[in-house]
């Protein structure tokens, strides 16, 4: 039942991270007029004067890269130039695998703290434990490094060695470990059973997402008999987006028919429509989709499709509201141009650009005391220079993006579980596909 759309990424600009991109062929460039070339001549003059007269000698490549980025960021927050390093990082993210050690980390007290070693990876086999602090990487102190810089040092070519100095509570001296890097496959979907309910958390939309989702559903169906399984929770909270084809395939996994999404570019003939194919992997069981302000782009495509086609009930708070599509255009020296080329629309023909997905059932997730006043709602409509959505209002898009680490504290998840088990009721649940108005 899986269909293969063009390889497309759609992501959100959330904080310092977030991106949305697309790989596809694009139309040839349109020739500039005479006045445009005059303006380019002025740019060349400025460039030469800066090179010759600036107080300290600038780097030519940096000047040009920053000039390009200045042009692109004046268009919208999601268009940008990627140098070879940035482009390779993006390709790594979309593949969902990289050469590394297999640990999830954070920064604490200027040290890299291991939050979790991934099962059956070099780090786990070497004895790295959750709670360990990495103080040195190949003999170099990590203090003073940014987390992303430390992570970059730990990644590397498969088969290459790395030495870690680890501080462990209870150990009387630092632990020295030598680990050989291997291919680390990042799980795009985490799944489990919550008693008689299947729980599927889509972390990101990489090349592995649909396959991981399918495996999760199969495992849940094997663990819980069909007559006992109440339904599924599809958790898209804190999901910043990813590949468009994977968003379409994930939506299709729950659908039997109907348009999943359409993308509309500058010219009418650039409109593309993507339809579901027969074959609901969940056998028609009730589905509740969880969203919050951290649900963006590809995750909004899924939520919007399942909501409009009345296959699922959407619960939570308003999503981020990124409804644009970026095309990745390869450039010289392995760099790439990330350019906004289209907007996407849900099956009902609605653009969520600057508005987001409004849940069928609004359930706020309270912040813990230590985060009060430190976490604010953010959405596409808050981004300077964002493309104005056709339905955008002063209300804007987005909401607070917070999910408690413990299930017992997760009001949104527990509300969904109560609905599926019949402990709560709402007119929006269960959704009924038969009531959906399909485009013909």
Residue 39, φ and ψ in degrees, nearest 5: -65, -40
Q: Active-site residue among 79, 204, 251, 297? A: 297
If we measure between CA atoms, which residue out of 152, 122, 124, 126 comes closest to residue 137? 152
Element (H, E) at 101: none
Q: Does residue 322 have an active-site annotation?
A: yes
Told to judge if 308 belongs to the known catalytic residues of this protein, a careful annotator would answer yes
Contact 133, 140 (CB under 8 A): no
**Identified catalytic residue from 308, 319, 381, 397:** 308
- Judge whether 382 and 396 are in contact, CB under 8 Å: yes
* Of 322, 324, 397, 399, catalytic: 322
H helices within 162-252, ranges in order?
A: 209-223, 244-252
Distance CA 308, CA 167 (A): 52
Phi, psi of 82 (to 5 degrees): -115, 125
Give the list of residues 6+ apart from residue 402 with CB closer than 8 angstroms, or none: 292, 365, 367, 371, 375
Helices (H), 26-59: 34-53
Please enumerate in sequence order all residues whose Cβ is within 8 A of that of 58, keeping only pairs 6 or more positions apart, or say none: 50, 51
> Does 408 qualify as catalytic in the annotation?
no
Catalytic residue annotation: 297, 308, 322
């Amino acid at each position: 039942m899986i269909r293969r759309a063009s390889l497309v990424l759609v992501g959100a600009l959330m904080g310092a991270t977030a991106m949305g991109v697309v790989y596809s062929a694009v139309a040839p460039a349109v020739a500039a007029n005479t006045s445009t070339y005059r303006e380019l001549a002025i740019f060349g003059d400025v460039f030469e004067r800066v090179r010759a007269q600036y107080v300290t000698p600038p780097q030519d490549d940096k000047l040009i890269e920053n000039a390009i980025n200045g042009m692109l960021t004046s268009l919208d927050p999601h268009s940008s130039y990627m140098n070879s390093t940035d482009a390779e990082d993006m390709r790594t993210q979309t593949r969902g695998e990289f050469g590394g050690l297999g640990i999830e980390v954070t920064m604490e007290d200027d040290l890299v703290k291991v939050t979790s070693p991934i099962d059956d990876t070099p780090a786990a086999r070497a004895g790295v434990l959750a709670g360990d602090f990495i103080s040195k990487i190949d003999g170099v102190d990590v203090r003073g490094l940014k987390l992303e810089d430390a992570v970059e040092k730990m990644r590397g070519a498969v088969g290459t060695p790395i030495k870690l100095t680890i501080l462990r509570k209870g150990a009387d001296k630092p632990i020295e470990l030598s680990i050989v890097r291997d291919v680390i496959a990042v799980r795009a979907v985490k799944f489990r059973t919550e008693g008689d309910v299947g729980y599927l958390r889509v972390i990101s939309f990489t090349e592995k997402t649909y396959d991981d989702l399918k495996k999760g559903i199969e495992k849940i169906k094997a663990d819980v008999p069909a007559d006992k399984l109440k339904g599924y929770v599809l958790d898209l909270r804190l999901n910043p987006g990813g590949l468009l084809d994977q968003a379409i395939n994930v939506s299709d996994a729950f659908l039997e028919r109907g348009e999943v999404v359409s993308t509309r570019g500058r010219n009418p003939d650039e409109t593309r429509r993507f339809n579901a194919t027969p074959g609901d992997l969940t056998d028609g069981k009730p589905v509740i989709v969880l969203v919050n302000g951290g649900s963006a782009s590809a995750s909004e495509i899924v939520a919007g499709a399942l909501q409009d086609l009345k296959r699922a009930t959407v619960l939570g708070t308003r999503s981020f509201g990124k409804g644009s599509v970026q095309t990745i255009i390869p450039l010289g020296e392995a760099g790439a141009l990330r350019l906004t080329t289209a907007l996407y629309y849900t099956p009902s023909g609605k653009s969520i650009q600057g508005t987001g997905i409004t849940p069928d059932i609004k359930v706020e997730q309270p912040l813990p005391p230590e985060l009060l006043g430190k976490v604010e709602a953010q959405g596409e409509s808050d981004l300077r220079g964002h493309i104005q959505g056709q339905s955008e209002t002063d209300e804007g898009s987005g909401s607070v993006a917070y999910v408690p680490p413990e299930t017992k504290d997760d009001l949104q998840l527990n509300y969904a579980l109560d609905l599926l088990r019949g402990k709560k009721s709402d007119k929006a649940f269960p959704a009924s596909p038969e009531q959906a108005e399909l485009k013909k």
